[in-house]
Amino acid sequence: MARGDLTDEEWSLIEPHLPLGERGPIPDLRLQFNAVMWRFRAGCPWRDLPAEYGPWSTVMSI
């Protein structure tokens, strides 16, 4: 878990309010959520997203 990522307690408060995907729960939704938060915290372009969050194009399309 990177600095600034959601703790288990924070995630348990947020997750119930997130929509399901077209075919059920979205895999790695927490990782993608953390990636979006990192991007806005850093104020950088999507392409500068750290590799630990996965491909920037996948996170951007959420």
Does residue 1 have a pLDDT over 70?
A: no
Q: Are 6 and 33 in contact (CB under 8 A)?
A: yes
Render pLDDT for 16-58 as a digit per residue (tens, 0 to 9).
898 777 776 677 889 989 999 999 999 999 999 999 888 888 8
pTM over 0.85: no
User: Which residues does 25 contact at the CB level (< 8 Å), separation at least 6?
Assistant: none
